[in-house]
Structure 1
C-alpha cells in the first residue's frame, strides 16, 4: 500500500494551501458576486487535494461571462436558438456567439458533449488548415470561432441533492458553459391538460441552486449558473413547507367538500375535469389568507392586520393569530381542501412573488431568467426593474416560445422590430433564446424538404439544396472545400510520416 501523505503535517499544509487557493478564486472578477452559504474549508474538504483537474467547462464559462458582460456594458445582446444537432451547431458559428441545448434531461449532457467535440474538431481542422498557408494567403481562408459557449437546460436537476450533483457533474464534464435550473416540481411538469405549472417551495429551490454552486466549487469550475424562475403564472405549489410562500397559497373560505371529492363525483357524473375545477373554486370561495381577512374585516381592522404582517416573513399560524386579534373573530381558511389528487396546493401567483423569488435566488447564480410564455409590456417591465432595484447590474436571460402573438402583449409591429435591442438596453436582457427551434424549426424544414423532394426529386434537390450549398462553401485557393475533414486526415498522415504541415516562414 502506498501512502498519499508522508505525514499529517504534509496533509495539513496541502489542505491549508487548498483553502487559500479557493478563497483567492472566490475573489476573482468571475466569482466575487456569488454569496455562498458555506466556507472554503468545507469545499476544500470535499476536493481531491493533490489531484487537480482542469475542465473545458471553466474556459467556456469564463468566455461566456466576458461575452455577456460586454453586451451588458454596451446595452446589446446575444440572440440564439436551440439545437441538439452538432452539424447545426457548427453552422451557427457563422452568425452567433452561443449555442442552446435543451430536451430530455437524461440526454442533454451527452448531447452537449457531442456538440462540444464537434466544435473541437472544426477548431482543430481550421487551425491546421490555416497553418499550411503563409500569412498573405490566410486572409482568404475561414477564421471562425467555432468554440461557441454552450448553454444547456438542466431542468429541475432531478430534485434530490445527490441527483442534482451527478447531473451537474455530467454537464461540467461535457464542456458546457452555463446551465439553467428552475423551480418546477419533479414529476409534475405538465402543460397539456389546461393547467398551469407546479412550483416547489422557495427553500427547496434555493437548495437546488446551492447544490449546483457547491458542485461547481468542488470541481473548481467557472461554469455559469442561470437561475430560472417558473413561478410566473404558476397554478400550484408542491408543499407549504416555507413560510415565505404562505401569502400566496390559496385556501377555501367556505366549508365545502374537498377538491378531490368533487373530482371523484365529477367522474361518476361524466363532468369534465376543468369544469369541475372551476365550479369547485367558485363554490369554495378560493382566496389567499390575506384576501380572506380582507373579506371579513373592516377597513380599519384590515389596515391593522396589514401593518403587522407587511415586509416580513409571517407563517400562516401567526397570520391567523394576528387576524383574530385585529378582527375579533376566527377567519375560516383551509388550504388542505383545495389540494389536488397529486397533493399539490393551489397557488395565487403575483409579479411581486416572482420578483421575490428571483431576488432570493440571485446571489447564488450569475444570470436570472423569469419564464414568461406570454410576455406583456407591464410584466416585462415590472419583473426586470423589480430585480434591478436590488441588483442594478444583474444579467438577465429570456426565452421566446414559438406560438405567442406579441401583438396580444401590447407590442406594435414597429416595437417588435426593435424588441430585442430594447429589452437589452432597458433591462439588461443580454442572452435571448428561441428554445424550440430544435423541434419547431427543424421539423418544419424537414417536412418542407420531404414534400418537395417527393415532387421534384434530384432536379429540385440540385436547385434548392446542392447548388446553393456548393456556392456558399468555403474553399481554399485550389478550390478544395475547407470545412470537411480531408485536410485534417491528410495532416495526421503527414505528421506520422515526419512531413511538416505548416508553411515555411
Structure 2
C-alpha cells in the first residue's frame, strides 16, 4: 500500500485544526448545553482522516428546531409508532415525527418474534430506521418529480407534504457492553435517525410478565452508557440527538450497589431472617409457588431502605437528628450506619444481601426523587429527557417534570402513553384526559407518543377491514375503500394512485436515460 505523503509537522497541523473545529462546534448553540467528560483532542484522535456528513444531522437539527418552537408556543407534537414505510408516508400528513419502538420491531421485524424483552439482534431497530428513512427519501423525491411535471398554477392547487419527518428510535439499553453501545450509535447515525433514546435498565432483565419488576443499573453505569453514545456521535461529527430515558419507575431491582448515589434507595431485610434466595429455592423444590413465597418473605423480612429501618427504631427526635446529619449530599451506606449509631439509641438491623434474588440483584425502591436525581445527573450528556412511567399518574407526572425544570429550567421532555392504562380508575375525568397533552406541554413535554398504536390501532383497523372483506367482498371494497381513495381532491398523491406508487417517477428516470437534452 502507498505511504502517506506528508510530514509529521503536517500531520500535527491537521490534527490541531481538527481539535479546533471540534471545540468551535461544541460552542455552537445546539451543543453548548452539553458537558463532555472528555476533551476535543480525545475525540480528534479517535476520528478517521475521512470526515463525513450524515443526513442524521439534518434531521436532528430539524427536530431540535421543532421541539424548541413547541416549547416557545406551549404546544406539543403528537405521533405514534410504525415500522412500515407506507404507514410512515401517511403519518407525515398529520405528525411532524415518527417513532420506532423496539418492542414493535421485536414482534414484527425479527426472524424470531418476541415480547418486549430487548432480546432481538442489536442492529434490528437501526435497520428499521434506515428502511423508513429510505422510504421517506423516495416519497420526497417522487413527490418533487411529480410536482415539477406541472405548471406553477397547477402546483398551487396540489397538496405538498413534508415526507422527511424526523425519526425518533428506541435504543433500549445499548445491547451489551460499551463497545456494543458505540456500534449501535454508529449504525443509528448512519441510518438517518434524528434522535434515539437509551435507558437505565439492565441487559437481559427487561421483563413485564413474571410478577416482578424490572432491573435498573447503577447510576454510574448508566452514565457510562450515555457517554459511550455521546462519544460516538462526537467522533462522527454528527448533530444526532440523544435522549436519556429514565426507566426506574416501577422497577424493583438494581444489579449492584457500587454507586453510593444509589444507596439511599436500596432495600434490605430489617430483621434477622433466612435469605430470600434460600427461601425461594426451598419453595421451588417443594413444588410451591415461588411468587407466593417471595411475597411472604418480603412481609416477614420488613423489607425497607436503610433510612426506613432507622425510622422504625428511632424516636422522632433521634430520626430528625439522623436526617439532619445526612444533609443533602451523597451518603454511602457505611457512613449512614455510622451516623445512625451516633444519633439513635437502639441498634439498627439492615442487611441488603439477605434480600438478593437468584440473579444477584438487590431490591430497589423507586420514587420520583430518585427519578429526578438520575435524570439530572445524566442531563449534561443528553439533549432531552424521558421519564418513562408505566401508569401516567398525574401527581407523579407533575412532580417529575416540574422538579426537573426547577433544577434545569429550559429542559425539554418526551413522554410515552401506555396502551392499557385505566385513566378513569386512576381518577382522570374525561376533561383531564382530553387536556392531558396540553397540560404536559406547559411543563416542557414537547414530544408525546403512543408507542403501541402499531399493535393496538393497526390490529383494530385490519380487523375491521378483514371482517368487511370476508362478509361483503369486492363490492364493499369498491364502495368503502377504492372510491374514497380515488376521489380525494386536491390530489394528495395517496393510496392507489399511479403518482403515489412512483410510476411517473420511474417514467422520469427512464426518459432521462434514453432521451438527450441536447
1:345 paired residue number = 362
Cα distance in structure 2, aligned partners of 1:235 and 1:55: 40
The answer to whether the aligner puts 1:446 opposite 2:462 as a matched pair is yes
Quote the Cα distance in structure 2 between the aligned partners of 1:452 and 1:79.
Answer: 30
Post-superposition shift, 1:110? 0.7
Give structure 2 stretches of 5+ with no counterpart: 107-119
Corresponding residue for residue 435 of structure 1: 451
Distance 1:476 1:53 in 2: 36
Query: Matched residues in 1 for 2:416 and 2:386: separation?
Result: 8
Secondary structure at 2:355 match in 1: coil
Instruction: Answer whether contact 1:5 1:11 (CA < 8 A) is retained.
Output: no
**Match in the other structure for 1:25:** 25
Structure-2-length-normalised TM-score: 0.93
1:390 aligns with one of 407, 411, 417:
407
Paired position in structure 2 for 1:464:
480
Question: How many angstroms apart in 2 are the aligned matches of 1:429 and 1:41?
Answer: 35
Task: After TM superposition, give the deviation of residue 440 of structure 1 in Å.
Answer: 1.8
The answer to whether the 8 Å contact 1:72/1:428 transfers is yes
Gaps of 5+ in 1: none
Q: Check whether the contact 1:126–1:142 (CA below 8 A) recurs between aligned residues.
A: no
Distance 2:260 2:278 in 1: 27
> Aligned residue for 1:100?
99
Aligned-pair Cα RMSD in Å: 1.8
- 8 Å CA contact retained: 2:89, 2:163: yes
The residue that corresponds to 1:331 in the other structure is 348
Aligned pairs (5 A) from 1:216-231: 216-231=233-248
Q: In the alignment, what sits opposite 1:85?
A: 84
- SS at 1:148 equivalent: coil
Which residue does 1:356 correspond to in 2? 373
Give the C-alpha shift of residue 447 in structure 1.
2.4
SS at match of 2:23: helix
Q: What's the TM-score once normalised by structure 1's chain length?
A: 0.95
| Runs of 4+ with deviation above 6 angstroms | none
1-structure distance, mates of 2:453, 2:316: 52
Counterpart residue number, 1:63:
62
C-alpha separation between the residues in 1 aligned to 2:34 and 2:502? 42
Shift of 1:439: 1.7
With over 3 angstroms needed to count, the CA separation of the structure-2 counterparts of 1:35 and 1:476, relative to structure 1, is: closer
2:380 is paired with a residue of what secondary structure?
helix
Task: Give the number of equivalent residue pairs.
Answer: 498
Pair 499,146 (structure 1): closer, same or farther in 2 beyond 3 Å:
farther
Q: In terms of mean alpha carbon deviation, does 3-12 or 39-48 score higher?
A: 3-12
Q: Measure the CA separation in 2 of the matches of 1:225 and 1:391.
A: 17
**Partner of 2:266 in structure 1?**
249
How far did 1:237 drift?
0.8
SS at match of 1:179: strand
| SS of 1:117 mapped into structure 2 | helix
Report the counterpart of residue 300 of structure 2 in structure 1.
283
- Residue 259 (structure 1) aligned with residue 276 (structure 2): yes
Q: 2:216·2:254 contact (CA, 8 Å) conserved in 1?
A: yes
In structure 2, the CA distance between the partners of 1:365 and 1:93, relative to structure 1 (3 Å rule), is: same
1:68-97 deviation line (CA, Å, top 9, x unaligned): 010001000000000011110011111110
2:109 aligned partner: none
C-alpha displacement at 1:129, in angstroms? 1.6
The match for 2:195 is: 178
Q: Measure the CA separation in 2 of the matches of 1:274 and 1:5.
A: 69
Corresponding residue for residue 117 of structure 1: 134
Q: Report the CA distance shift for 1:491/1:500 in structure 2 as closer, same or farther (over 3 A).
A: farther
Aligned partners of 2:81 and 2:98 also within 8 Å: yes
Q: Does 1:302 align with 2:319?
A: yes
CA distance in 1, matches of 2:350, 2:254: 17
Q: 1:410 to 1:5 in 2, by over 3 A?
A: farther
- For the residue of structure 2 that corresponds to 1:439, the secondary structure is helix
1:406 aligns with 2:405: no
1:408 match: secondary structure: coil
Contact 1:159 1:208 in 2 (8 A): no
